[in-house]
């Protein structure tokens, strides 16, 4: 008779597996100091709920292996000797994973290895028209299964980068000034009420920390990189808007922002920079909230969204004179061109 499986009481609990996996990779330098660790991405990495991840991260914080900072999540390393902040996809790191983390981890993570490349190629051509993403050629190009490709395409659909037409073909684009205006109209409808409802629950310390960071970036304009500006804009939205206790409103804001960020990502791909005037506008909104002027902050947010729309449309006009790319990824073709 074969040996029976060990009783469940002898098996490591899920949070212990997460904690030990991260602890080992931190000790071996596979997770560099300063790496941002967020509950969501870590939970995705292990395909777990956030509860065991929260407990694991809290345990590592108690051990001094990670620490809190002004943004969301934790930073790898000692709080007394902080390293420069790094935002990386954990799946891109050379992590050592125990069998308890899931024997199917490698296969499950395959989509991560190709997602960024596919997203970049699709994003690059959105402003030039409608393109078909040929699923079979995509699988052949990356030499992966159709299951993995469908996982990637499903995630791109969630981000509204692609959709299906009446023939069930995957279609990307077009991104137009009209579609961008529609997205920003929704921002004006959704975000100021979210700010008003968030104002009563957002911790003052978070607002003060955000104000300091925005002020420092504004004062050092020209020295901050684009990643820092984008990070601060994301932190602003998370703190001021997405802190709303209205979960339905929060979900609507998030969904629309996915589309807005896609539009802005297209412009970044084409070399157009983030306008730093946004830093001053966001700091003013935060400072109004700190002074208890919530109605004025909501009105300023509307003004800020309108200004962002004008800046984005102006950049779209610049893009309009850029020639359509001659070289496309082999799995992309103009939507009016039939597949072979």
In a domain, 255, yes or no: yes
pLDDT at residue 7 greater than cutoff 60: no
Spatial contact of 71 and 238, defined as CB atoms under 8 Å apart:
no
Same domain, yes or no: 204 and 302: yes
Residues 160, 148: Cα–Cα separation, whole Å: 19
Same domain, yes or no: 159 and 217: no
* Measured CA distances, 138 to 14, 36, 144, 154, 319 (Å): 35, 32, 9, 14, 27
Spatial contact of 278 and 308, defined as CB atoms under 8 Å apart:
yes
In a domain, 200, yes or no: yes
Structure confidence at residue 6 (pLDDT): 43
Spatial contact of 46 and 53, defined as CB atoms under 8 Å apart:
yes
Same domain, yes or no: 77 and 166: no
In a domain, 87, yes or no: no
Same domain, yes or no: 138 and 210: no
Q: Which of 127, 149, 174 lies at the terminal end of a domain, its last residue? A: 174
Specify the CATH number for the domain of residue 40: 1.10.10.10
Same domain, yes or no: 71 and 52: yes
Same domain, yes or no: 121 and 239: no
pTM for the whole structure: 0.60
Structure confidence at residue 338 (pLDDT): 59
**Range of the structural domain that residue 264 is part of:** 177-319
Structure confidence at residue 192 (pLDDT): 97
If one counts the domains in the chain, the total is 3
In a domain, 103, yes or no: no
- State pLDDT tens for residues 55-105: 999 999 999 999 988 777 899 998 888 888 888 878 777 777 765 555 445
In a domain, 330, yes or no: no
């Amino acid at each position: 008779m074969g040996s029976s499986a060990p009783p469940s009481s002898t098996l490591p609990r899920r949070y212990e597996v997460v904690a030990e996996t991260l602890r080992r990779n931190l000790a071996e330098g596979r997770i560099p100091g300063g790496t941002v660790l967020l509950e969501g991405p870590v939970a995705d990495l292990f395909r777990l709920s956030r509860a065991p991840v929260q407990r694991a991260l809290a345990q590592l914080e108690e051990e001094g292996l990670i620490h809190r900072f002004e943004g969301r999540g934790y930073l790898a390393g000692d709080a007394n000797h902080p390293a420069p902040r790094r935002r990386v996809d954990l799946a891109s790191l050379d992590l050592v994973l125990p069998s308890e983390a899931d024997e199917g981890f490698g296969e499950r993570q395959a989509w991560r290895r190709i997602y960024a490349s596919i997203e970049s190629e699709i994003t690059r051509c959105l402003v030039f028209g409608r393109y078909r993403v040929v699923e079979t050629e995509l699988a052949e190009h990356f030499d992966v299964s159709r299951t993995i490709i469908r996982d990637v395409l499903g995630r791109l659909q969630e981000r509204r980068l692609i959709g299906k037409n009446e023939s069930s073909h995957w279609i990307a684009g077009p991104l137009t000034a009209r579609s961008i205006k529609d997205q920003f109209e929704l921002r004006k409808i959704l975000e100021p009420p979210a700010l008003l409802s968030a104002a009563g629950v957002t911790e003052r310390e978070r607002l003060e920390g955000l104000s300091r960071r925005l002020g420092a970036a504004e004062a050092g304009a020209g020295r901050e990189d684009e990643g820092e500006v984008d990070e601060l804009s994301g932190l602003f939205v998370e703190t001021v808007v997405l802190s709303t206790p209205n979960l339905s409103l929060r979900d609507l804001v998030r969904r629309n922002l996915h589309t807005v960020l896609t539009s802005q990502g297209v412009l970044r791909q084409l070399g157009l920079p983030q306008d730093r005037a946004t830093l001053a506008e966001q700091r003013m909104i935060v400072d109004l909230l700190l002074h208890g002027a919530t109605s004025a902050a909501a009105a300023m947010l509307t003004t800020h969204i309108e200004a962002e729309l004008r800046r984005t449309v102006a950049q779209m006009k610049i893009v309009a004179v850029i020639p359509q790319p001659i070289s496309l990824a082999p799995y992309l073709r103009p939507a009016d061109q039939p597949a072979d």
